Structure formats: structure tokens, C-alpha cells
Amino acid sequence: MSDEIFPFKIGKFECMAVSDGTMTYASPMFPPPAVLLFNNASGEELEMALGEHNLKPEQWSEWISPYICLVVNTGSHRVLVDTGAGSLAPSTGKLIPNLKAGGIAPEDIDTVILTHGHPDHIGGNTDSEGKPAFRSARYVMMRDEWDFWTSGQAEQKLDEHIRDVLMKYARENLPPIQGQLDLVDDGTEIVPGIRVVAAPGHTPGHMVLAISSGGEQLLCISDTVLHPVHLEQPEWFAAVDVTPEQVVATRRQLLDRAASDEALVLAFHFPFPGLGHVVPKGDVWQWRPL
């Protein structure tokens, strides 16, 4: 299996997981991974949970996270979900080369869906000239998310230590797409077979996509969970979650839906290709990779 592109099908839809590269989360720029990902966890419970994944909190010094975008060819539309991180790190910005390797040129994309406004999801919105990278596409974002990043709310609500980099990417990558932008709400069908599911908490307008064709379903859950441990410990939130209580409620609702529907799931930060199933385990869940 390639670690850059992974084709698969949902009913009649031709899909492809596409890597934008990876990001290494380590000091001094980031707190230790156990603190970054499981901000409210500590002690013996944290040690036990991580031990099941062969991790020791005190020795876990870096988290290398994939950034996984998605292409869906419905037959009538070529849809891209998220644009990756662009120039955020030397190891990111691989989306367009990998699309081309999969036989897709930027002008082939007619719809770009942005699940939320963090740099690793919008950093590829624009090219080196600051113009939309997907010039033939309409860009789509939740109304609440656009408002959060463009109306001054983000500056007030974000923690000081991450505010500057997040706002820098929002200012560089959101205003240039405004002329091609459609704002949507919970339940909107963006194109036939791809519907918005509001998933607030990680950010105020964070969205999940329910993708359906031929009786099969894919849930593109973006950053509802950042690590497989979050399925087993859904109450543990990340340092980057804007509204932790909302994250937990959203996560429980969506993981329950994924398990009940036996949907295929795509998680943006999971090991490539980020695809698998959510399996019940008592009153929590486990990740079963594809």
C-alpha cells in the first residue's frame, strides 16, 4: 500500500485518501504529546491507557501525525476535503504532487470542502502567489467556522501561545477564497451524496461529512478524534480543542453513530490511510484499521 495515495470505493463513488505529508509535534514548539493530546488526563489512568498502545507518557517525546485529505469523485463532481498544511513545515505541502500522482490536476477539482480553519486543513487553499490553488472550484465552509476566524472571535478565544500561528494561516488562506466561497449549515447537502454534519467543539464550526452511495457510508470525521486513544477515552480532550465540553459530547455522538451504522471512517490524523471502523467496547469504542 502506498503511504501517499490510497484509492477505495464507497458505493459508486471513486474515493482516494491523499497524504499532504506529516508533522512532528515535539518540544520546544509543542508540549509533550501526552499533554497536547490528552490535556485533562494524568496519573495511573493515563499510563495504563497509553501502555496498551506501547507508549509511556514520560518517554513519549514526539508525535508524528499524518495529514490526510480526501478526494471523492461522485461521477458528477470531483470533491476535495481539506487542503492540508501547505508550507507549515518542510514535511507538509505534498497534496498537489500526490493528487497529480493519482491522476488529478488542481483544475479537475470543482468543490473544496474545508472541515475547519486550522492551518493543517486550510494551508493549501492558496498557491505561492496567494491566489486560490483550486481556481475552478467553489470552496465550502460552515458559516459558524468562517465567522469565528474572520470576525474577531478567534483572537479573543484562542490561547495566547497558539493564537499567532493560527491567525497567520487564517489571514493568508481564508480571505483569498472568499470570491469562490459558499457558507453552509448543519444538514446541507453540498453535492448529491455528501452532507454536512455539525461537529462543534474542536472549533466552533468544525464539520464532519456523511458520504453515501449505493447503501454504503463513509464518515469523514476530521479532528473529532486526534488519536486512537480518544475512542477508548472519549472524555480526554486536546490542548487545541476550543470548547472541551462540547468536544466530548460531539465525539460520543459521532462515535456512536459510526459504530451503529457500521460506517467506514476517515480520521485526518490517524496512521495513513486513516481508514477504519469504530467498534463498541462497553460504553466506549476501539479503532479497527482497514
Q: Which tens digits make up the pLDDT trace of 275-285?
A: 999 999 999 99
Confidence (pLDDT) at 159: 84
pLDDT digits (tens, 9 = 90+) for 168-187: 999 999 999 999 999 999 99
233: pLDDT strictly greater than 90? yes
How many domains, in total, are found in the chain?
1
Confidence (pLDDT) at 273: 98
Rounded to the nearest integer, the mean pLDDT of the chain is: 97
Range of the domain at 125: 5-289
1: pLDDT strictly greater than 60? no
Q: How confident is the model at residue 42 (pLDDT cuts 50, 70, 90)?
A: confident
Instruction: Report the percentage of the chain scoring pLDDT > 70.
Output: 100
Q: Enter the pTM of the model.
A: 0.97
Domain CATH code at residue 83: 3.60.15.10
Q: Name, in order, each residue with C-beta under 8 angstroms of 76's C-beta and a sequence gap of 6 or more.
A: 191, 192
Q: How confident is the model at residue 3 (pLDDT cuts 50, 70, 90)?
A: confident
Q: In angstroms, what CA-CA distances link 126 with 42, 43, 66, 86?
A: 40, 43, 21, 8
- 486550510: which residue's cell? 122
Confidence (pLDDT) at 162: 87
Instruction: Report the percentage of the chain scoring pLDDT > 90.
Output: 96
Q: Report the distance separating Cα 35 and Cα 165, nearest Å.
A: 19
